[in-house]
A and B are shown apart, each in its own frame.
Chain A
Amino acid sequence: MSLRTPLSRAKGLGSAKDGVHHWWIERLTAVALVPLYIWFVWGLISHAGADYETVAAWIGSPVTAVLLVLLLAVTFHHAQLGMQVVYEDYIHTEWLKLTSIVLTKFIAYVLAAAGIFAVLRVAFGG
């Protein structure tokens, strides 16, 4: 016997309400990160040993700045969703699990904002 209502079964969302959405965004961000990181690592390699002016000019150039803003936003979104799954698997004390998830999300958004601000500051020379 199932205790779920027919409507709940039809929606198929389970207790977390957004399980499919979470799963899908984790994959969507993963797909985006593949080209972004190949591009970024290539950029880092080609600027190995470069002086401050050269590196700052690279980071602040329009294409690099735009791609780096994307890389930061997508990275922290992906990381925060991924860490949530890890906590859900290992932490079985409800308040501790919730606190870890919420704290991680807040820290991730602060880091993303700080990174994006730094890139824009280099780009606009503030």
Chain B
Amino acid sequence: MQTDKRPLSPHLQIYKLGWTGIPSILHRMTGVALTLGSVLLVYWLAAIASGPEAYATAQAIFGSIIGQIILFGFTFALYYHLCNGIRHLIWDAGYGLKIETVLRSARVVAIASVVLTVLTWLLVFIVGGA
């Protein structure tokens, strides 16, 4: 049996990524990032359970410049993974699989996650009065 002409899965170093490949790899990267980030969620909840001092420490960490940058990154990762996850679920249901639709929904997801991230942080600063 001939085995050398089988299709290969996209090889990241030589495959030209576009509006199909980048969303796919971003979905995976945001999924892994969110998995790591979920440790912070548990830490935050544990700090609340431990009392005011532990909570103040957590808030100081999250409120620092680096903390804010990391939280901003996680906000985008969450929105991207959430929106693109919905896109995946729609595909799994058998819809939106025409190539024009796939390319259009990729752009919708990218724009929506940037807009939602910026909107979220605007609201946080307005509500928080910082």
Query: What distance in Å separates the Cβ of B126 from its nearest Cβ neighbour in chain A?
Result: 8
Interface positions, chain A 90-124, Cβ under 8 Å from B, are 111, 114-115, 117-119, 121-122
When C-beta atoms are compared, the residue in chain A nearest to B86 turns out to be A34
When C-beta atoms are compared, the residue in chain B nearest to A59 turns out to be B48
**CB of B35 within 8 Å of the partner chain:** yes
Encode contact with B along A56-91: 1 for CB under 8 Å, 0 otherwise: 100100000000100010011001001100100000
Residues in chain A near residue B78, CB distance under 8 A: 37, 41
Q: What interface size band does chain A fall in? A: 20 to 34
Residues in chain B near residue A46, CB distance under 8 A: 127
A114 adjacent to B46 (CB under 8 Å):
yes
- Interface of chain A: mostly helix, strand, loop or mixed: helix
In the assembly, what is the distance between CA of A94 and CA of B82, in Å?
Answer: 32
In the assembly, what is the distance between CA of A109 and CA of B55, in Å?
Answer: 24
Residues of B within 8 A of A (CB): 28, 31-32, 34-35, 38-39, 41-42, 45-46, 48-49, 52, 55-56, 75, 78, 82, 85-86, 88-89, 92, 120, 123-125, 127-130
Encode contact with B along A28-69: 1 for CB under 8 Å, 0 otherwise: 001101100110010011111100100110010000000010
**CB of A27 within 8 Å of the partner chain:** yes
Residues of A within 8 A of B (CB): 27, 30-31, 33-34, 37-38, 41, 44-49, 52, 55-56, 59, 68, 72, 75-76, 79, 82-83, 86, 111, 114-115, 117-119, 121-122
Residues in chain A near residue B55, CB distance under 8 A: 52, 55-56
Residues in chain B near residue A48, CB distance under 8 A: 123-125, 127-128, 130
In the assembly, what is the distance between CA of A32 and CA of B49, in Å?
Answer: 26
When the two chains form the complex, which single residue of A47, A75, A83 contacts B32, counting CB atoms closer than 8 Å? A83
Residues in chain B near residue A68, CB distance under 8 A: 45
